[in-house]
Amino acid sequence: MTAGLVEGFAKSGGRLTGVYNRLLDLTGKRLEILKEMIPRLARVVTFYDPGNTVAQEGARLGRQAAQQLGVQLIERRVSSIEELRVSLQGLKPREVDAYFYTPDAMVGSQSQLVIDAAKAKRWPTMFHEVGRVAKGALASYGYNYREAGRLSAKYVQRILAGAQPKDLPVEGYDKIEFALNRRTVREIGFTIAPLLLLRADQVVE
């Protein structure tokens, strides 16, 4: 509703409906878990497009959480995929302790680029979605987009059967998962506390 795409959750009131989640709200908790994974965490890097208002807000929330946790958030503003690539290449392995995802559509679409660069520099990575862990990220805390997609498919079915989007509720998907990739743990020479492994909803081998 904040973006003005729908009139309300009970009925969208227009041509759009579907599933939403509160990705931004988890930014602070995501950094908190990363700090728990790396007690000596001092510097984390994040990349975002300064022209994206959602990304700006995500960076602000990340900055706020970092201050509370005593962590320095190193912000790299990138307006294109090429700028992201150059910025990743320009960072020295020991310049930061980890990569931390703050919500940004362009950077999120290039998660494999970030994951591969981070592995080469032996950085732990914290993402927002379990699918990134399956692709090699060390950890994620957030929503399972595959499961959210299953819920979205029900809307497609109802609309194809004749339902009008304006009459359908906008549903929230609020199942949050913590995932870890044990193979990445080994590849970057990292150590995960046994209690964190036990807490994980998914562990990718």
Query: Is pTM, for the whole model, over 0.85?
Result: no
Question: How far apart, in whole angstroms, are the C-alpha atoms of residue 109 and residue 47?
Answer: 12
pLDDT at residue 2, rounded to an integer: 43
pLDDT at residue 89, rounded to an integer: 95
pLDDT at residue 3, rounded to an integer: 47
Predicted confidence (pLDDT) per residue in 100-142, tens digit: 999 999 999 999 999 999 999 999 999 998 899 999 999 999 8
**Which of 67-76, 146-155, 195-204 comes out lowest in average pLDDT?**
146-155
Q: What is the length of the chain? A: 205
pLDDT at residue 6, rounded to an integer: 47
Question: Nearest 5 degrees, angle CA 19-CA 151-CA 106?
Answer: 55
Dig out the tokens for 195 from the structure: 């209690």
CB 105 within 8 Å of CB 50: no
Distance of CA 199 to the CA centre of its chain: 19
Phi, psi of 106 (to 5 degrees): -65, -45
What is the number of other CB atoms lying within 10 angstroms of the CB of residue 21?
19
pLDDT at residue 33, rounded to an integer: 96
Map out the domains of the chain with their CATH numbers: 19-145+182-200 (3.40.50.2300)
Query: What's the rounded mean pLDDT across residues 58-83?
Result: 97
Dig out the tokens for 147 from the structure: 């499961």
pLDDT at residue 24, rounded to an integer: 73
6 vs 48 pLDDT, higher one: 48
